[in-house]
Structure 1
Amino acid sequence: MTLRLSTVILPYRRWHDGTKEAWQRAEQLGFHTGYTYDHLSWRSFRDGPWFGAVPTLTAAAAVTQRLRLGTLVTSPNFRHPVTLAKELISLDDISGGRITLGVGAGGTGFDATALGQEPWTPRERADRFAEFVPLLDRLLTQDSVSYEGDFYSAHEARNIPGCVQRPRLPFAVAATGPRGLKLAARYGQAWVTTGDPKLYETGTSEQSIQAIRGQIEKLTDACAVIGRDVAALDKVLLTGFTPDRGRPLESLDAFVDFAGRHRELGFNEIVVHWPVPDSDFAAEQKVFERIAMEAPAQLG
């Protein structure tokens, strides 16, 4: 199985203060996809600069030619399917069909309350996600959509000419619960996980591997229910949230070992964070770039 290596570039710097160069360098290094987080603010970056995902990806599309681009991930926390679909179709057009939508149910962070609402419970997030993804699928594949749901509505929403990618741009669905995995099985071209968050603080690498294996088994079952081969879904691991944390980026050998163990589980895309000094994603830039250039060949 060919293993792709991608990166996520956090939008914490001004475009002309290193961000533009990072996206261009990501393409030069041969990364498959450059993602960015779709948040209004995020964790330790809350009190510093943080820029919007869609404008950032639009700018990145203008200064790259081959690199795929995407969100990792967009959620219903502050997005509406009708307006999001229009932005995604525009992004897909500007990039020449290089956009992937990473999409998830959202969490309880700053995005959950930024619009003035109380944070949704896990059940409420799952309920909205179950409506959000199918409606977005329709909006990206049909010229005109009308819909009345429990949480979202669309009235003759027009999306002509549709996506450059047909029938629509790919969805990479982040999910670990049963309802989210059903959405990934039915609507996803890829499935995304960060591992088991309960293991981040005190778990071991082996426990993480076992937990992720269990997630893939549940995804396989969800695919089987609708008659879909789980092999048809790409499987994407966003690193930095397993008990290994930043250790895989300490050396080329450490990364190859980490990525190889996850490839054996069935992953065909590993996503690493572009180094951010003085953060959880700090890494030596020279080592990071060596990994980008040399690890894919070692992993086959």
Structure 2
Amino acid sequence: MKHGIVLLPEHEWKIAADRWRAAEQLGYQHAWTYDHLMWRWLADRPWYGSIPTLTAAATVTSTIGLGVLVATPNFRHPVALAKELVSVDDIASGRLICGLGSGAPGFDASVLGGPDLGPRERADRFEAFVELLDAVLARGSVTKVSRWYTASGVNFHPRADEAPRLPFAVAATGPRGMALAAEYARYWITSGPPNDFRMRPLREVVPLLRDQVRGIDAACERAGRDPAGLGKLFVADAAVGGITSSLAAYEDAAGELAEVGITDLVVHWPRPDQPYQGDEQVIVDFAEKHLGGE
């Protein structure tokens, strides 16, 4: 199993830089930050942009994967996002992972005056979002008009051409999103029950995770893809709590998730208060024991 960590973009860079360096030194394979304009529990506190944060993180690290968790159509346009992604990926020497999600209702969806969309419309928009983002990154020359996006005479450089484009990580719990993950992504992302933040024990979520893994495997098979070639990434501490409450809990969770079929476990850097309150020493101890960290 690979291990990752989420660093909320809440600190001034003089503080945040040390956290990103530490994540790499501890041996985590990837580190992520959230892509929101304002975030539910910390709306009254400092909150910085994901793209500038990841750009800065790329300059103070050299090996760790750097991830967006997750860009959505709520306030992103695929063409503009593509330009930012390839710029960060260049600075990071090919270490960027672009997490993508359909975008839940809330501040990010309404702040720019966007329409109030139902689940079916959000799914339609997400399909258009992923397809256009992939086309721009991979082919470069794109003209496409849909209900959701206009890309008129795009001539995009740099582009993937014959090389693999930067990897996508698609968050999905339903069949349409899983189909997108199977077709376009290197990773599929789940946090268990979608948009549910009740912090239940992992054992209560394991049956759902097993169903979800079966669902994404089936989506891969329908797409003619080997399910083993798609990473299955679980983001802890949202719908599931307690994983980093102790070293033993962390170890037990990693083992149980591996049995379910999860390939990558991502936890949050422990904070002094909620959300994600915890003891930083737990991630240090886990890293020293299992990741070869300093």
TM-score bucket (shorter structure) = over 0.9
1:12-40 superposed Cα distances (whole Å, 9 cap, x missing partner): 11112x11110111111111011100000
Matching of residue 252 in structure 1 with residue 244 in structure 2: no
Residue from 135, 142, 145 that aligns with 2:142 = 145
> How far is 1:205 from its partner?
3.3
Within a 5 Å distance, the mapping from 1:119-130 to structure 2 comes to 119-130=116-127
**2:7 corresponds to 1:9:** yes
1:58 aligns with 2:39: no
Report the counterpart of residue 80 of structure 2 in structure 1: 83
Q: Does 1:95 align with 2:113?
A: no
Q: Secondary structure of the equivalent of 2:261?
A: coil
Q: Does structure 1 retain, via aligned residues, the 8 Å contact 2:137–2:159? A: yes
Tell me the distance in 2 between the aligned counterparts of 1:206 and 1:265.
11
For residues 90 and 195 of structure 2, the distance between their equivalents in structure 1, rounded to whole angstroms, comes to 40
Pick one of 214, 217, 220 that aligns with 2:211: 214
Q: Find 1:26's aligned residue among 10, 23, 26.
A: 23
Question: 2: distance between equivalents of 1:250 and 1:70?
Answer: 24
Alpha-carbon separation, structure 1, partners of 2:217 and 2:6: 27
Q: Which of the residues 261, 264, 273 maps onto 2:268?
A: 273
Residue 175 of structure 1 corresponds to which residue in structure 2? 172
Q: Which amino acid aligns with 1:29?
A: L
Aligned to 1:74: 71
1:67 positional shift: 1.1
For 2:239, the equivalent position in structure 1 comes to 242
Contact preservation (8 Å) 1:92, 1:98: yes
Q: Which runs of 5+ in 2 are unaligned?
A: none
Instruction: State the 1:202 CA deviation.
Output: 8.3
Bigger mean CA offset, 154-163 vs 202-211 = 202-211
C-alpha contact 2:27 2:291 (8 A) present in aligned 1? no
Seen in structure 2, the aligned counterparts of structure 1 residues 284 and 251 have a Cα distance that, compared at 3 Å, is same
Distance verdict in 2 for CA 1:100–1:217, change over 3 Å: same
Q: Offset of 1:214 from its aligned partner?
A: 0.5
Asked if structure 1 preserves the Cα contact closer than 8 Å seen for 2:100 and 2:171, the reply is yes
On the 8 A contact 1:4/1:296 being kept in 2, the answer is no
SS in 2 for 1:218: helix
Residues of 1 paired with 2:253 and 2:92: CA distance?
A: 32
Cα distance per residue 1:150-202 (max 9 Å; x no partner): 10111121221225993200001000011101101111111000001487538
Deviations 1:183-226 (A, max 9, x none): 01111111000001487538653331000110111111111112
Q: RMSD in angstroms over aligned alpha carbons?
A: 1.8
Deviations 1:46-83 (A, max 9, x none): 11100000000000001111111010111110000010
- Look up the equivalent residue of 1:205 and give its one-letter code: L
Residues 1:261 and 2:259 aligned together: no
2:37 aligned with 1:44:
no
TM-score (norm 1): 0.93
Separation of aligned partners in 2, 1:184 and 1:173: 5
8 Å contact 1:97–1:163 — kept in the other structure?
no
TM-score of the superposition, structure 2-length normalised? 0.94
Residue ranges of structure 1 left out of the alignment (5+ in a row): none
The residue aligned with 1:192 is 189
Cα distance in 2 between the residues matched to 1:117 and 1:100: 27
The CA distance in 1 between the partners of 2:200 and 2:21, in whole Å, is 36
> d(CA) in 1 for partners of 2:148 and 2:59?
35
Question: Structure 1 residues 210 and 296, CA, compared in 2 at 3 Å: closer, same or farther?
Answer: farther
Structure 2 CA distance for partners of 1:59 and 1:205, relative to 1, 3 Å: closer
Between 116-125 and 278-287, the greater mean CA deviation after superposition: 116-125
SS of the aligned residue for 1:31 comes to: coil
Q: Distance in 2 between matches of 1:267 and 1:104?
A: 19
Kindly tell me the number of residue pairs found equivalent between the two proteins: 292
Q: 1:203 to 1:48 in 2, by over 3 A?
A: closer
The letter of the residue matching 2:280 is Q
Contact 2:247 2:286 in 1 (8 A): yes
